[in-house]
Amino acid sequence: MSLRARLTLAATAMAAVGLGIGGILLIVALDRALLGALDETARRQGEDIATLVESGRLPDPLPGFGAVVAQVLDDEDRVVASTPGGDRLTPVVAGDDLAAVRAGEAIDLDGTRLGQPEPLRVVGVAADAAGEPRLVVVAVSLEEQQRSVHFAKIGVTAGGLAVTAALAVLSWLVIVRALRPVDRLRGGAEEITGAGGGHRLPVPAGGDELSRLAVTLNDMLGRLDAAAARQRAFVADAAHELRSPIAALRTELEVALAHPDAVDPHDTAREALVEVERMARLVDDLLVLAHLDNPRPVRREELVDLGELALEVADGVRGGRVPVRVDVPGEVYARGHRDSLSRVLRNLVDNAVRHASSQVTASVSAPGDGTVRVAVTDDGAGVPEADRERIFERFTRLDDARDRDAGGSGLGLAIAREIVVAHGGTLVVEDAAPGARFVVTLPAAKTTVGAPEAVP
């Protein structure tokens, strides 16, 4: 069944149940009301006869006053007087029924006992004749009451079915109209392809739940389009970066094959190895970015001494273009993945060495505010303020770093920031006057002998 059919069926079933319960309560209330009115009428007839008994003017036979049967009984349950249709020897009721009537209750009686096809309703009214107790028994027919209840049942049933059918049609129309925006959303979604193209779903008017859902879905489509655009740009940039070393390697090999006597094979091998190493670094960076794009959380079970890590990274670049000085005042700890944090420092130091004029400084500190800081400073040209966020984008290289041998692939700073963010920290660039200062801020961790403890 369709959603429209299920909703219509549910609404109709609820309406039918409600109408059924209401109809039953109405029939019961009508039955009780008619019985109460009939009992009141019978008692009034009995009171009229009781007045005749108490005044000593009791006629025989008794006047019917519209009752089927009326009898006057003495205290020994003998018939003193009766209407013409009643038995003058035997009371209308006897035994427990008679005791109930004496107690003031109204009872139902089978009409066949008096030759009547319809059931009877019997009530009793106490009277007193010159100090002798009497009981006036009045039996009235239930035919009109039962006929009225029967017609009421027919009317309630027919009316309930008609109202239920009308509600079913109305529910169907309302649900169809309410779900019409869903059809438009579905039609809009069918037009959207994997290519994106900025297509959006139609937003229903009114500001209701469907409208808010459409706005949310459009926001999601916007994020997906942006992610797809970034992915396409990433693939294009990666292909472009790989093309350069491949072209250079191909050129070296083609020259070596075309002029074997004029080319030193050892020089060719060395130059080819340089290009292969460049491709290897680029592929390694791409794999790191692929892992960082994975939403899995970064492992943070290790306690890392950032000062020791900075010294290791500095030792790895000794003998480079400029010296690297490390300033470590003491033990400074952070929790994180050691290899990832080492890559962050290595990328920052390599970038600083590439742009420094005479020296690079890596300093580690703990400001005492629950964080630790690692600052890598160079004395180069610095980073213009307008480019201080752009340099952290993938494959971004400033104009003075466009040379493929000196400028790198443009992934180092992007990888560094994403690793730092994954560890709950920040990476920003500041003006060092002269030069640039890259500052890494991470949540601090303190340690005691034998047991590490994370700072809240």
375-420 pLDDT tens trace: 999 998 888 888 888 888 877 766 554 444 444 567 788 888 988 9
Rounded Cα distance, 20 and 30, in Å: 15
- pLDDT value, residue 345: 92
What is the tally of structural domains in the chain? Answer: 3
Task: Evaluate whether residue 316 is within a structural domain.
Answer: yes
Task: Evaluate whether residue 198 is within a structural domain.
Answer: no
- pLDDT value, residue 288: 76
Task: Evaluate whether residue 15 is within a structural domain.
Answer: yes
Q: Which residue's structure tokens are 């089927």?
A: 68
| 355 and 250 both lie in a single domain | no
Nearest to 313 by CA among 357, 350, 283, 287: 350
| 272 and 217 both lie in a single domain | yes
| 10 and 141 both lie in a single domain | yes
Structural domain span for residue 404: 302-443
Going by their DSSP bridges, the two strands 436-448 and 333-335 should be labelled as antiparallel
- pLDDT value, residue 295: 55
- pLDDT value, residue 426: 93
- pLDDT value, residue 374: 93
Q: What is the DSSP string of 151-216?
A: HHHHHHHHHHHHHHHHHHHHHHHHHHHHTHHHHHHHHHHHH--TT-TT--PPPPTTSSHHHHHHHH
- pLDDT value, residue 207: 74
Going by their DSSP bridges, the two strands 324-327 and 360-365 should be labelled as parallel
CATH number at residue 11: 3.30.450.20
Task: Evaluate whether residue 172 is within a structural domain.
Answer: no
Determine contact, residues 80/72, Cβ cutoff 8 Å.
yes
Upper half-sphere CA count for residue 445 (Cβ side, 13 Å): 21
pLDDT per residue as tens digits for the range 197-235: 667 788 877 777 778 888 888 888 888 888 777 777 777
- Collect the ranges in the chain with pLDDT lower than 50: 298, 401-407, 448-456
- pLDDT value, residue 299: 53
Which of the listed residues 253, 273, 293 is the one where a domain comes to its end? 293
Task: Evaluate whether residue 449 is within a structural domain.
Answer: no
Task: Evaluate whether residue 176 is within a structural domain.
Answer: no
pTM of the predicted model as reported, rounded to 2 decimal places: 0.51
Tell whether omega for the bond before 61 is within 30 degrees of 0, i.e. cis. yes
Task: Evaluate whether residue 169 is within a structural domain.
Answer: no
CATH number at residue 322: 3.30.565.10
